[in-house]
């Protein structure tokens, strides 16, 4: 790209590499906003309990069916940098609070759409950004005012919150909604830790295991750990009651030395002595485990066949090659200590459980470790008729676990169904009157953007979006702050009475994420795209006949043109130049093609 100088006749300065594209000013802003609006339109129809699913097919042909916002934008494999920024918004929302990913992306797109209206009125992006940031701060203040404090240990309220999260998922059909909500609440309550009157939850303590077969209603919460492994030896016990569990991060094998070693054996007696010594070493390892009183061994590494035999004779159940994450969860569940050597293993390191059993789940065997005393790690075993349903169930339960965690830690809830968005819109428009100048317009547009949520919920419920929004605003102006859209019944109602409740933490994170994304995109006024790398020329000697000059399509085409333009006496010379010994071309490459 060249920059022209003011003096006539001077050579232009080359600033950017040839082929680089540059878009600046209003055109760059408009194109970026258009991309964000496209992503918003894609996700909008997936919002709410009546939202529709998306089928995503990747380059390998794998199919994903979901209405989870984070999964959709992640698997879309978007290329545009602005679209990737919205993917990051969904990712941040998912990592921080688990739910509300679709709402965050939709609100981001709507904020940018409203900003475009202001840009067309010649309002500078800096003014819009300032107004948006002020509006965001006000919105968070208003959100605190309309939130309710609940007792975090109120299991019934927590179940209602989990049901609200799951109601927009595939698993909401049939009895799955009530059942999975109860499982999610029980799982979080089991691993929650209380300190100074506050709850703390580490969701890594909840293991989610999937196994195809039966139905979602057959999913179970195991107060312990389920290992997707089987007992290593058929002679070992398959059920152990009153289990004493040893967890070892070491191999029950004769490991090869790190340095190169060579053993010379000259007679069968020496070979037998060598093998006997190996057997004795393995027997010693088993004896050390047996001496601690352990009757179950969970090993992160391998167990030799001979060691398996000795363990089976000792009546010890053993599992090998367990995942490191499973070992940590198992230690928390059974109050055991992970040791790194069989020499260090003592009876004090053992964990306890009422039952360790190998069971057949579907077509595979799994080891269940149940009845742990006060387990600080549990397992949700999800069942389902297909892999796609199980994947969606896992995504759904992830959101439900997160919202229950948020309420346990924060203790604040808010009405769902678009009620807070309408209330925030009205409150922001009122507060905008205190501002002078164009900043007031930015706050007003920010307030308008909130209305997209109830509008989409009404649309997916089959209602008139405009009519529903007018009725909602009228109800809120009368002081009915918790009125929203009951999508399942298709009417306006008090959301707390209908038990449609969201965590305040999810809503506040949506406002923060959406505002940050919109502001970041509005700050961009220049897009400089580097030129694509040139195609690599084919290597000499690969494919075709003769040298590279003949094989390259461009050169080959010019060669044929020369033959057609100069027939007769020129053919021999050109053929010789191409590397052919005969004036006539080879049969496979006719000059007439």
Residues taking part in catalysis: 68, 101-102, 399
Q: How far is CA 280 from CA 71, 290, 299, 304, in A?
A: 53, 15, 20, 13
Cβ atoms of 579 and 556 within 8 Å: the answer is no
Instruction: Write phi, then psi, for 212 (nearest 5 degrees).
Output: -70, 140
Judge whether 164 and 387 are in contact, CB under 8 Å.
no
Give the burial string for 420-436 (b: 16+ CB within 10 Å, else e): bbbbbbbbbeebbeebe
Taking the C-alpha atoms of residue 293 and residue 458, their distance in angstroms, rounded to an integer, is 64
Range 301-310 burial, b when 16+ CB lie within 10 A, else e? eebbebbbbb
The alpha carbon of 268 is separated from its chain's Cα centroid by a whole number of angstroms, namely 59
Q: Are 219 and 179 in contact (CB under 8 A)?
A: yes
230 contacts 358 by C-beta, under 8 angstroms:
yes
**Distance set, CA 34 to CA 30, 40, 433 (Å):** 6, 10, 30
Which residues, including other chains, have CB under 8 Å from residue 206's CB and lie 6 or more apart?
187, 188, 191, 377, 378, 379, 380, 401
DSSP β-bridge partners for residue 424: none
| Cα 549-554-555 angle, rounded to 5 deg | 30
Residue 156 CA: distances (Å) to CA of 185, 194, 378, 496: 9, 19, 21, 13
* Token pair in block for residue 151: 């007792």
Strand partners, 369: 225, 356
- Separation of alpha carbons 384 and 400, rounded Å: 18
């Amino acid at each position: 790209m060249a920059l022209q100088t003011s003096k006539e006749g001077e050579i232009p300065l080359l600033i950017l590499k040839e082929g680089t594209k540059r878009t600046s000013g209003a055109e760059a802003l408009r194109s970026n906003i258009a991309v964000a609006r496209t992503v918003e339109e894609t996700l909008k129809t997936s919002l709410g309990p009546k939202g529709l699913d998306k089928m995503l097919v990747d380059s390998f042909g794998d199919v994903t069916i979901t209405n989870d916002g984070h999964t959709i934008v992640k698997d879309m494999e978007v290329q545009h940098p602005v679209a990737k920024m919205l993917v990051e918004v969904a990712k941040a929302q998912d990592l921080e609070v688990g739910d509300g990913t679709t709402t965050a992306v939709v609100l981001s797109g709507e904020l940018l759409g409203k900003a475009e209206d202001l840009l067309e009125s010649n309002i500078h992006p800096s003014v819009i950004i300032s107004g948006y940031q002020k509006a965001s701060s006000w919105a968070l203040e208003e959100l605190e005012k309309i939130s309710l404090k609940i007792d975090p240990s109120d299991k019934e309220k927590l179940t209602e919150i989990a049901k609200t999260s799951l109601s927009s998922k595939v698993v909401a059909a049939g009895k799955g909604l009530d059942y999975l909500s109860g499982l999610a609440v029980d799982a979080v309550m089991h691993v929650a830790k209380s300190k100074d009157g506050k709850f703390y939850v580490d969701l890594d303590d909840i293991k989610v295991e999937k196994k195809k077969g039966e139905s979602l209603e057959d999913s179970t919460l195991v107060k312990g750990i389920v290992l997707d492994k089987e007992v290593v030896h058929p002679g070992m016990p398959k059920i152990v009651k009153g289990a004493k569990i040893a967890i070892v991060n070491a191999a029950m094998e004769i490991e090869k030395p790190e340095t190169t070693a060579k053993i010379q054996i000259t007679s069968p007696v020496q070979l037998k002595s060598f093998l006997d010594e190996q057997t004795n070493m393995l027997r010693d390892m088993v004896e050390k485990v047996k001496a601690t009183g352990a009757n179950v061994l969970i090993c992160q590494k391998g167990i030799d066949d001979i060691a398996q035999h000795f363990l089976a004779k000792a009546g010890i159940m053993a599992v090998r090659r367990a995942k490191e994450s499973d070992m940590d969860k198992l230690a928390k569940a059974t109050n055991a200590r992970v040791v790194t050597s069989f020499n260090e293993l003592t009876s004090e390191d053992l964990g306890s459980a009422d039952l360790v059993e190998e069971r057949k789940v579907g077509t595979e065997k799994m080891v269940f470790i149940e009845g742990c005393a006060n387990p600080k790690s549990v397992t949700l075993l999800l069942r389902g008729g297909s892999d796609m349903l199980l994947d969606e169930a896992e995504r759904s339960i992830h959101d439900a676990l997160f919202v229950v965690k948020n309420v346990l830690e924060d203790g604040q809830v808010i009405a769902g169904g678009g009620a807070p968005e309408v209330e925030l819109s009205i409150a922001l428009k009122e507060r905008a009157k205190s501002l002078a100048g164009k900043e007031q317009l930015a706050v007003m547009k920010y307030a308008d953007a909130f209305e997209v949520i109830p509008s989409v919920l009404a649309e997916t419920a089959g209602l008139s979006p405009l009519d529903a929004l007018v009725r909602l605003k009228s109800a809120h102006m009368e002081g009915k702050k918790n009125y929203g859209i009951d999508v399942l019944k298709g009417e306006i109602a008090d959301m707390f009475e209908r038990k449609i409740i969201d965590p305040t933490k999810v809503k506040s994170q949506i406002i923060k994420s959406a505002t940050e994304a919109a502001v970041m995109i509005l700050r961009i006024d220049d897009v400089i795209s580097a030129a694509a790398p040139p195609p690599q020329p084919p290597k000499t000697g690969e494919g075709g006949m003769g040298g590279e000059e003949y094989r390259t399509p461009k050169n080959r085409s010019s060669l044929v043109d020369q033959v057609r333009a100069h027939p007769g006496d020129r053919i021999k010379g050109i053929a010789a130049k191409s590397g052919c010994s005969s004036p006539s071309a080879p049969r496979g490459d006719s000059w007439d093609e």
